[in-house]
């Protein structure tokens, strides 16, 4: 695969140096005069940037690796360097540093100890291997571990003065339909809560994001951090504060603002503690948010103001900020970011979530889709508001309903084909014993319900295990291996133990009961094992879900056994029903998770097994099987 970014660079004669492959990712490493990046750099910096190389992951955004022997003074003029003005000479942890720009920034600002985590193993191996010489052995020298930042922090047992989240593909200026549906467990409320817990007193968590009009991911970043702050108590500190040439930028908010943004919500501020712990600034292209493990004080505010004056950055938020202090250097027609921040931090937040055209509610482990900000119910309004450009609909995942329609249409065709092509055979199979609509409806309901329920449970469990095991491919492999083995054993035992039909159908109820129990215990269980060694995480994943898999393996052979005794001609048809609805359920699960979260998918799975139990009862009458009428 040739990355899209390389096509853009083609006119600058890029040199594709290396292609690295892993089971989950492809990494293309390129050098070109066009590879230059200094996100949001101050326009006061006029010197040339050092030589840089670039790489893409799966054809996504271009990340850069900077020559460590070049002039690195530009790093002090980035918006993300603000925390180093506020907290000097401390310990720094960088989450997913990619090409290492924020690691270099910490070193350039003379921080004492720098370490970090990298989720993408392929990037870590490249930085320690073929890119090591160009980067000055940066990753070989420092402690950059493979895994989710939250898990690495838990395993370290340390606290830091600064925890930095650099710009990544997800926090980037471009998105795709896949990005909107991509899980980002480093950018959820639970992840930010873990980061804050590992800050020292008066330490700073900082995250940067490209300005992407109309504002949506910028606001989602704020709401996610704000929600995380509600779960952690700030360190004791002083009481909260009360109280060049401009560049005109066209307003991106026409038609997108809810009816009431600029005013306070009725009643008291919803989360004043969060408002007193947050600082935000922006440049011409990047927004940086800082959350303090303590209350922002007058000294912090003076430092931020001085930094913004020197670099010509704009203030967005600090406790007690007045509107006329915003929108000074890189100007919009109105101070929209300050107003939006004020509404979220001090206004009627819930009303804003409801009225705003985009979904900017916090990302959670249950709904980890940080890039998904689109509301299905506002599709037409969104389309009209961006000048009738359909590309934004792909970005928002609006193709999912069309994929679902295609899957349903194909399934109906496959399921109804026997009725159309073999009516005579079906009549012969039924015989002369009367109507067969109700039994066929029960068969359809049973096998479709266990197909949907199985896939919903499987997908929900896989998603839960991604932040624990560190890579989607690890979670898929571990959960699939566990469930396929255990359900196979369950299927074998259901026949080997010769469980009577009367009792085997009631074992169906064990699946929803266990599913609900697992829903409550998975959070605590995964929290305990997240910081362990990878081999222990795999082993405990196997032990955790093996009992559930055994019970999940019983319903399908039970249904086949009933058909085999009464109507063996319908067994292939039952296979078709189960397989078709398994395909449909994979799309349904994603749509439900985007709307309500994976916990809802889990509960729906339990409901499907209850429906299957109700459907199978008419198929097993009280008559002995030898006297039972054919289905």
Closest CA to 296 of 280, 308, 311, 310: 280
The reply to whether 501 and 574 lie within a common domain is yes
Q: Is residue 84 over pLDDT 70?
A: yes
Mean pLDDT of 467-491: 91
Classify residue 195: in a domain, yes or no: yes
Query: pLDDT for 273-315, tens place per residue?
Result: 799 999 999 999 999 999 999 999 999 999 999 999 999 999 9
| 206 three-class SS | strand
How many domains does the chain divide into? Answer: 2
The reply to whether 350 and 497 lie within a common domain is no
The residue to which tokens 């919009």 are assigned: 332
Classify residue 376: in a domain, yes or no: no
Residues 6 or more apart whose CB falls under 8 angstroms from that of 467 comprise: 148, 150, 151, 185, 191, 365, 526, 530
Closest CA to 208 of 97, 279, 287: 287
Which pLDDT belongs to residue 513? Answer: 93
Classify residue 121: in a domain, yes or no: yes
Residues 6 or more apart whose CB falls under 8 angstroms from that of 89 comprise: 110, 111, 112
Share of the chain above pLDDT 90, in %: 48
DSSP codes of every residue in 569-623: GGHHHHHHHHHHHHHHHHHHHHHHHHHH-HHHHHHHHHHHHHHHHHHHGGGS-SS
Q: What is the pTM of this model?
A: 0.85
The reply to whether 330 and 427 lie within a common domain is no
Range of the domain at 612: 400-619
The reply to whether 319 and 424 lie within a common domain is no
Which pLDDT belongs to residue 312? Answer: 96
Query: pLDDT for 227-242, tens place per residue?
Result: 999 877 665 544 444 4
Classify residue 394: in a domain, yes or no: no
The reply to whether 346 and 420 lie within a common domain is no
Classify residue 284: in a domain, yes or no: yes
Classify residue 37: in a domain, yes or no: no
Rg over alpha carbons for the chain, rounded to the nearest Å, is 28
Higher pLDDT, 12 or 516: 516
Q: Is residue 267 over pLDDT 60?
A: no
The reply to whether 286 and 425 lie within a common domain is no
Span of 104-113, 128-137, 145-154 with lowest mean pLDDT? 104-113
Residue 316: its H or E element: strand 314-317
Which pLDDT belongs to residue 269? Answer: 41
Higher pLDDT, 221 or 173: 221
Classify residue 5: in a domain, yes or no: no
Query: What stretches of 387-509 show up as alpha helix (H) in DSSP?
Result: 391-395, 400-421, 423-430, 437-469, 472-496, 501-507
DSSP codes of every residue in 5-60: HHHHHGGG--EEEEEEE-SS-EEEEEE-TT----TT--TT--SPPPPEEEEEETT-
Closest CA to 142 of 200, 97, 78: 97
Domain boundary among 322, 337, 355: 355
The reply to whether 420 and 329 lie within a common domain is no
Instruction: Check which CATH number belongs to the domain holding 213 and give it.
Output: 3.40.50.150
**Cα distance between residue 66 and residue 322, in whole Å:** 38
Classify residue 361: in a domain, yes or no: no
Per the prediction, the chain carries an average pLDDT of 82
pLDDT classification of 259: cutoffs 50, 70, 90 = very low
Query: pLDDT for 390-425, tens place per residue?
Result: 666 666 566 778 888 888 999 888 888 776 666 555
Q: From residue 253, give the alpha-carbon distance in Å to each of 82, 121, 213, 295, 353.
A: 27, 39, 7, 31, 16
The reply to whether 559 and 420 lie within a common domain is yes
* C-alpha 379 chain-centroid distance: 21
The reply to whether 351 and 404 lie within a common domain is no
């Amino acid at each position: 695969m040739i990355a899209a970014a390389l096509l853009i660079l083609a006119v600058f004669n890029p040199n594709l140096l290396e292609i690295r492959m892993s089971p989950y990712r492809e990494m293309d490493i390129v050098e070109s005069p066009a590879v230059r990046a200094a996100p949001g750099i101050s326009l006061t910096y006029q010197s040339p940037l050092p030589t840089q190389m670039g790489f893409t992951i799966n054809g996504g955004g271009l990340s850069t690796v900077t020559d460590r022997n070049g002039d690195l003074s530009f790093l002090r003029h980035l918006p993300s360097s603000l925390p180093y003005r506020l907290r000097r000479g401390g310990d720094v942890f960088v989450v997913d540093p990619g090409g290492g720009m924020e690691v270099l920034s910490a070193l350039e600002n003379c921080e004492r100890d720098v370490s970090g985590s990298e989720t993408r193993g392929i990037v870590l191996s490249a930085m320690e291997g073929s890119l090591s010489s160009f980067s000055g052995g940066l990753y070989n020298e420092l402690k950059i571990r493979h895994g989710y930042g939250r898990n690495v922090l838990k395993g370290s047992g340390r606290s830091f003065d600064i925890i930095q989240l650099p710009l990544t593909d997800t926090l980037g200026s471009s998105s795709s339909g896949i990005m909107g549906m991509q899980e980002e467990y480093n950018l959820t409320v639970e992840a930010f809560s873990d980061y804050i817990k590992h800050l020292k007193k008066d330490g700073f968590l900082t995250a940067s994001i490209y300005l992407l009009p109309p504002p949506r991911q910028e606001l989602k970043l704020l709401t996610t951090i704000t929600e995380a702050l509600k779960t952690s108590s700030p360190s004791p500190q002083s009481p909260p504060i009360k109280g060049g040439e401009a560049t005109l930028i066209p307003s991106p908010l026409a038609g997108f603002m809810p009816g009431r943004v600029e005013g306070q919500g009725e009643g008291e501020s919803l989360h004043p503690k969060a408002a007193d712990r947050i600082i935000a600034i922006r440049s011409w292209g990047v927004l940086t948010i800082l959350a303090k493990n303590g209350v922002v004080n007058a000294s912090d505010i003076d430092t931020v103001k001085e930094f913004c004056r020197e670099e010509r950055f704009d203030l967005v938020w600090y406790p007690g900020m007045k509107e006329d202090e915003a929108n000074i250097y890189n100007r919009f027609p109105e101070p929209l970011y300050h107003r939006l921040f004020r509404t979220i931090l001090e206004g009627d937040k819930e009303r804003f979530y409801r009225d705003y055209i985009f979904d900017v509610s916090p990302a959670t482990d249950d709904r980890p889709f940080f890039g998904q900000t689109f509301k299905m119910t506002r599709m037409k309004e969104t389309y009209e508001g961006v000048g009738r450009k359909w590309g934004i609909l792909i970005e928002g995942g609006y193709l999912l309903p069309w994929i679902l329609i295609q899957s349903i249409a194909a399934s109906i065709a496959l399921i109804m084909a026997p009725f159309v092509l073999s009516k005579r055979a079906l009549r012969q199979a039924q015989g002369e014993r009367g109507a067969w609509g109700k039994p066929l409806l029960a068969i359809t309901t049973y096998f479709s319900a266990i197909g949907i329920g199985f896939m919903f449970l499987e997908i929900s469990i896989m998603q839960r295990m991604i932040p624990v095991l560190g890579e989607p491919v690890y979670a898929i492999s571990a959960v699939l291996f566990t469930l396929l083995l255990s359900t196979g054993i369950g299927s074998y035992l259901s026949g080997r133990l010769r469980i009577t039909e009367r009792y085997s159908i009631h074992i169906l109820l064990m699946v929803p009961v266990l599913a609900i129990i697992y829903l409550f215990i998975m959070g605590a269980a995964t929290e305990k094992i997240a910081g362990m060694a990878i081999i222990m995480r795999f082993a405990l994943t196997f032990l955790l879900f093996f009992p559930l898999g055994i019970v999940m393996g019983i319903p399908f052979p039970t249904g086949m056994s009933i058909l085999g005794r009464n109507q063996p001609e319908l067994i292939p048809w039952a296979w078709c029903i189960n397989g078709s609805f398994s395909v449909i359920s994979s799309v349904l699960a994603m749509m439900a998770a985007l709307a309500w979260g994976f916990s809802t998918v889990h509960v729906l799975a339990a409901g499907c097994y209850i429906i299957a139990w109700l459907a199978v009862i008419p198929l097993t009458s009280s008559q002995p099987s030898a006297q039972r009428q054919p289905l």
